[in-house]
Structure 1
């Protein structure tokens, strides 16, 4: 016998699959469906590993897990859950769970974890301090996000360098904030610096600080981001845009744990946890010599890849409701969103990812005429999702019109009016966004009279102040 396993699972189907797989590995498995029977088994027998679901017939499987760990400190615990949120993953980590598996899980991977846990009785150390789980920055229960949550929980109790990869707008800074807020450095500062937003000749001063007189304009000593983040976390965003010379100094600082201010002679020890991020593919940059290969390996200790929103459409409903709640905090009206509106949002391409969705939901909250946002409101404010989904960002107006005609067969005698109704609103909104809301410049861009533009804005109930660029 490879060992005795206690399975606490109230779903008979899932339990049967797990028991069969573990018995094939020569484990003896006791299966119970609730907390009371779990405690009775633990009082009667010794187990190599316990697997527990979160939602059980008589309560929350995690609520008393701390007591189980206190009574059986050498027994590894693996948590299974259909409550697939970052909150659940973090709670499992706080309670020193050996592993956390969201449902549906990979059975082979689960069995491998049980085998490993049975051979490493004693778990993974002491739990991190308790957190309520409220206010966690990442939202979504899709399968695509579960790997992200699991990787985050694995780096909370260590200082391994993390490289967050993903398209613009996917939430890379939110991952960095979660790692900081939930980790053992949460009492220290969280300092973010965007390498793409700093002029190349100033980035070293921004990172490492400078001494008075180090260069023209350095009228006083300045403390850099590394020193500001001492004892906490330094988030290096858009690391792929950092110039080579700065990459060299950054690599040296990461290797030695010491920095030197620009114009300074003294080395300063710094204790920071590094989380870096980029939306660029670093492999061709390394091949081209524009990104240091040794720096990449230094940063890429724990890679976390964020999925684009198009690969996690199941999360759009939860994200939309989350952003509606945030909109109230920004002084916008309280809104609800119905299933038709959610379905419409799910059909958009969201090239700007979660950031674009957030801006769109805020715009809906502002402009919607009723308390409940429906599909008609989505189309009125954001345009047709079917057209947007079919049009690539580079096809232009002609491509947009062609795609619209495919999904909206023209009515005889109505093609002009229908096309005008479909495209006039986004066209005027785009012109205003492009000119910062300046109606005179927007009219010139469109090639129409300013008074004509004003009348159309009034007829279409478009507020120039509401027109902002999409991400």
Structure 2
């Protein structure tokens, strides 16, 4: 075909078709647009177009289902898939069915133009991937979220699914590093093999080599039989090395040999064993700084860091919090805990909270809410109490009219201790109980004084500066207009 490349666009949204038509035409391409899958299939069948941009959901068909059919009759046709269903499964399906690129909606026009240029200049090789997941249930997906940060993760993972490349996952504790490793395994060519995880920080240093590589009988005191290591257990599958920054230097040297030579020996053994595993490593540490301090081998770092993936902390993807909360609520309901609903103001409070423990902390909170509160709909008061540092366990017992503050506090604390038994939470209960009383006291005083901080400080018997500090420390909303 001579002249400018022809781009075929299929999307049932007229506005999207118009925007793409204008942008691509200005870039010098010939453009044809349609709002249905039938017309797109006819164009492709007739040999038209050099590149296809297709939506996933259309009135008469699914763009994902159309991709392998188009690739079968036109193996060299480049296909870009767009979708507002911005999940990992969509990205994986698009890639494994043969799409050149997957782009989430809303998209950036500059990125579209860049991807189109790259697609037209890059030859395709073969018929897609190793297979496509059948499960359309997003509830079973390992990763949740539709933020821009997560879309970048999905697209990277989709590109890696058909490879055996070593991957290094960096991210704070609780961001879901093992979930990413699981996704690479479950949707990849080794998914029929085992997934074996080992946390370097959880194993005594003198046992790490035995845990990784196994040992022979008599190799050390207590080795009364041959022990199988994680490399052997992961044969044909994936080995996830979590907290790789906690691996001792001598073990790093042995691991480097495995990555270089593809073989290892057991502790006390002499016969090399071929390693047939995919390595995925993860850390929350700054390995660059550890290298400068002589605590991590630079050559091992480059062997592991073939494909780096950085997982964003929850504070960088706060728009995902409502979806994560609903996912966890559905999950715990499926496990037999009561069905709960978080109301609007409460959900907004969860969204603006700074989650130092990331997704893991959020999940733990949701489980606690489902297990400990009797009401079906949970409001702002419950969330505020929980986020302030550990609310007393709610009770259906109503206080008597003559019950004083001291008796009320004692009743709540008794319920709290009865509920936890000997399994009490982390230290700091004294400070948390004070906050439980101090926050509503200051908030109600400010409400009563219509936000007048001078008057509120007088009522409370506090210095005005002290009150301001407590308002900030306890995150108490300030009514504007009060002095």
Considering the TM-score relative to the shorter chain, is it more than 0.5?
A: yes
Question: For residue 80 of structure 2, what is the aligned residue in structure 1?
Answer: 78
CA contact (8 A) 1:98 1:124 kept: no
CA gap of 1:335–1:434, structure 2 versus 1, over 3 A, is closer
Cα distance in 2 for residues equivalent to 1:190 and 1:375: 41
Query: 2:423 pairs with 416, 433, 436, which one?
Result: 436
Quick one: distance in 1 between partners of 2:200 and 2:422? 27
Tell me the TM-score normalized by structure 1.
0.81
Match for residue 287 of structure 1?
292
Give the distance between the partners of 2:150 and 2:416, measured in 1 at CA.
33
Residues 76 and 123, structure 1, Cα contact 8 Å, conserved in 2: no
The alpha-carbon distance between structure 1 residues 76 and 24, as it changes in their structure 2 partners (threshold 3 A), is same
Alignment of 1:92-131 (within 5 A): 92-122=94-124, 125-131=127-133
Once the two structures are superposed, residues 297-335 of structure 1 have per-residue CA deviations (whole angstroms, 9 ceiling, x without a partner) of 111111111111111111111111111122123331122
1:213 aligns with 2:218: yes
Per-residue displacement from partner, 1:190-217 (whole Å, max 9, x unpaired)?
A: 0000000011111011100111111111
Going from structure 1 to structure 2, the CA distance change for 1:201 and 1:425 (only over 3 Å counts) comes to farther
Q: CA RMSD in A?
A: 3.1
Give the conservation status (yes or no) of the 8 Å contact 2:75–2:127.
no
User: Superposed, which structure 2 residues align to 1:195-214 within 5 Å?
Assistant: 195-214=200-219
Match of 2:252 in 1: 247
After superposition, what is the alpha-carbon deviation per residue over 1:48-101, rounded to whole angstroms, capped at 9, x for unaligned?
Answer: 110111122434322333222222222111111111111111110121111111
3-state SS of paired residue (1:64): helix
- Select the residue among 183, 198, 205 that pairs with 1:178: 183
Are the counterparts in 1 of residues 97 and 131 from structure 2 also a CA contact under 8 Å?
no
Q: For the Cα contact (< 8 Å) 1:237–1:277, is it kept in 2?
A: yes
Residues 1:324 and 2:329 aligned together: yes
How many pairs were matched up? Answer: 414
Matches within 5 A, 1:28-427: 28-122=30-124, 125-133=127-135, 134=137, 135-380=140-385, 382-384=386-388
CA–CA distance in structure 2, aligned partners of residues 36 and 233 of structure 1:
41
The answer to whether the 8 A contact 1:208-1:261 is kept is yes
Give the superposition deviation at 1:341. 2.4
Shift of 1:294: 0.7
Q: Structure 1 pair 30/199, CA: closer, same or farther in 2 (3 Å)?
A: same
Kindly tell me: are residues 23 and 197 of structure 1, through their superposed partners in 2, closer, same or farther at Cα, counting changes over 3 Å?
Answer: same
Residue pair 2:99, 2:128 contacting (<8 A) in 1 also: no
- 2: CA distance between counterparts of 1:302 and 1:193? 20
In structure 2, the gaps of 5 or more residues are 392-404, 438-483
List gaps (5 residues or longer) in structure 1. Answer: 389-416, 457-471
- Residue 123 of structure 1 deviates from its aligned partner by 5.2
Q: Distance in 1 between matches of 2:271 and 2:114?
A: 50
Give the secondary structure class of the aligned counterpart of 1:276.
strand
Indicate if the aligned counterparts of 1:75 and 1:123 stay in contact, CA closer than 8 A.
no
Structure 2 length normalisation: TM-score? 0.79
> Match for residue 469 of structure 2?
none
1:205/1:30 CA distance change after superposition, 3 Å: same
In 2, Cα distance between the equivalents of 1:374 and 1:446? 25
Displacement of 1:221 after TM fit? 0.7
Q: Please state how far the C-alpha of 1:446 moved relative to its aligned partner.
A: 5.0
Question: Could you say what secondary structure the match of 1:63 adopts?
Answer: helix
Distance 2:158 2:387 in 1: 39
Q: From the CA coordinates, give the structure whose radius of gyration is larger.
A: 2
Contact 1:170/1:307, CA 8 A, preserved across alignment: yes
1:96–1:123 Cα contact (<8 Å) kept: no
Q: After TM superposition, give the deviation of residue 434 of structure 1 in Å.
A: 12
Partner SS state of residue 262, structure 1 = coil
Distance across 2 between alignment mates of 1:166 and 1:366 = 29
